[in-house]
Amino acid sequence: MSQLEALLLTHIRALKLEMPVPEYRFHETRKWRFDFAYPDQQLAIEVEGGTWSNGRHNRAKGYEADCEKYNEAALRGWTLLRFTGDMIKKGQAIKTLERALR
């Protein structure tokens, strides 16, 4: 688990929100996983690390793979919340997640 994912979980605990399932596999044949998920609500969370350092999510191959995964999730009825490190650190992510859960 990354530091950003751990920080988001700390925020979730602090607000006493329901804890998500980590590394939730949503596809029966692909190895796709969400960083966190609330399966009963079909609500998924992806922590997009490395946005300022040319991380995997920003390079062409990684970005394209993410698009394929996110599109498949949408076609299966999932709502996907994507958060950058700055969004998590500034509290924007937890505010959005709180709105989605309540």
Backbone phi, then psi, for 30, in 5-degree steps? -85, 160
Give the model's confidence band at 50: pLDDT under 50 very low, under 70 low, under 90 confident, else very high.
Answer: low
| pLDDT at res. 16 | 96
* Nearest C-alpha neighbor of 35 from the set 81, 78, 71, 75: 81
Give the model's confidence band at 102: pLDDT under 50 very low, under 70 low, under 90 confident, else very high.
Answer: confident
Domains of the chain: 3-101 (3.40.960.10)
- Least-confidence region, from 40-49, 57-66, 73-82: 57-66
Tell me the residue type at 95: K
Residue by residue, DSSP assigns 1-50 as --HHHHHHHHHHHHTTPPPPEEEEE--SSS--EEEEEEGGGTEEEEEE--
